[in-house]
């Protein structure tokens, strides 16, 4: 198989459903940008996922967070990656820097309107009895700067291939977006993926 980002050949391994299993799929982006929804879409679509259930579903994510604690500690211990090819894991964008260079990764980088992300994060903090003292306009600039930096870094990594996915687009056009993801990752059950998308869960919507 030829890596589309580098043009170099990588070993191809075929997993379940005839899927190329030479890489780990990573769902990344800002918190509250639709990463949990995407993980559920991948699971229902037939891709095995890393999720330990330690962080239980709640009001903010009633269908589950799909988090995996070892992935948060990759910088200290990356041994979980030994059996990761052909599977999917959720990692916040800052953790991508900690991934070792001896594995192949395909990243679904979730994008969502910044105002919606900030509103969702603020409501989550309020429900937890916490609040942020940083004004929204400053947080928006911080997020923009950090996301620009990680995108540039990813573009320079020979073992990463990235597909940016719009959360807003998935909600409005689930089949079209699921088809793009299917083309990027390999055979998935598009119908099952679309069943996951529930517009009623699209809270903190920003019009326009």
What CATH number has the domain bearing residue 37? 3.40.50
pLDDT tens profile 122-180: 777 666 676 777 788 998 999 999 999 999 999 999 999 999 999 999 999 999 999 99
In a domain, 138, yes or no: no
In a domain, 24, yes or no: yes
In a domain, 66, yes or no: yes
In a domain, 44, yes or no: yes
pTM above 0.95, yes or no: no
Q: At what angle do helices 136-156 and 114-127 cross, to 10 degrees?
A: 120
In a domain, 207, yes or no: no
Cβ neighbours of residue 99 under 8 Å, at least 6 residues apart?
Answer: 26, 74, 78, 81, 91, 105
Q: In this structure, are strands 105-111 and 24-29 parallel, antiparallel, or unpaired?
A: parallel
Where is average pLDDT lowest: 7-11, 109-113, 126-130?
7-11
Label residue 123 exposed, middle or buried (CB < 10 Å: 0-12, 13-18, 19+): middle
- 17 close to 23: Cβ distance less than 8 angstroms: no
In a domain, 87, yes or no: yes
- 165 close to 52: Cβ distance less than 8 angstroms: no
Q: How confident is the model at residue 201 (pLDDT cuts 50, 70, 90)?
A: low
Q: How many C-beta neighbours within 10 Å does residue 115 have?
A: 14
Number of structural domains in the chain: 1
Its domain, for residue 101, covers 16-112+158-199
Q: How many C-beta neighbours within 10 Å does residue 113 have?
A: 17
58-63 mean pLDDT: 62
In angstroms, the CA 161 to CA 149 distance is: 16
Mean pLDDT of the chain: 84
Of 36, 33, 31, 88, residue with least CA distance to 57: 36
In a domain, 164, yes or no: yes
- 194 close to 173: Cβ distance less than 8 angstroms: no
């Amino acid at each position: 198989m030829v890596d589309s980002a580098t043009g170099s050949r990588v070993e191809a391994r075929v997993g379940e459903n005839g899927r190329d299993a030479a890489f780990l799929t990573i769902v990344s982006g800002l918190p509250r940008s639709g990463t949990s929804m995407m993980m559920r879409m991948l699971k229902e679509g037939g891709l095995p996922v890393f999720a330990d259930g330690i962080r239980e579903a709640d009001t903010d994510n009633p269908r589950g967070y799909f988090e995996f604690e070892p992935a948060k500690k990759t910088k200290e211990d990356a041994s979980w990656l030994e059996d990761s090819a052909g599977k999917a894991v959720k990692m916040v964008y800052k953790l991508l820097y900690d991934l070792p260079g001896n594995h192949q990764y395909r990243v679904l980088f979730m994008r969502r309107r910044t105002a919606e992300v900030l509103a969702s994060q603020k409501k989550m903090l309020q429900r937890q009895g916490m609040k942020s003292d940083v004004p929204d306009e400053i947080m928006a600039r911080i997020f923009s700067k950090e996301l620009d930096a990680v995108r540039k870094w990813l573009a320079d990594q020979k073992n990463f291939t990235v597909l940016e996915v719009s959360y807003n687009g998935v909600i409005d056009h689930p089949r079209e977006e699921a088809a793009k993801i299917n083309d990027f990752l390999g055979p998935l059950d598009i119908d099952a993926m679309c069943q996951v998308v529930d517009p009623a869960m699209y809270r903190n919507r920003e019009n326009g």
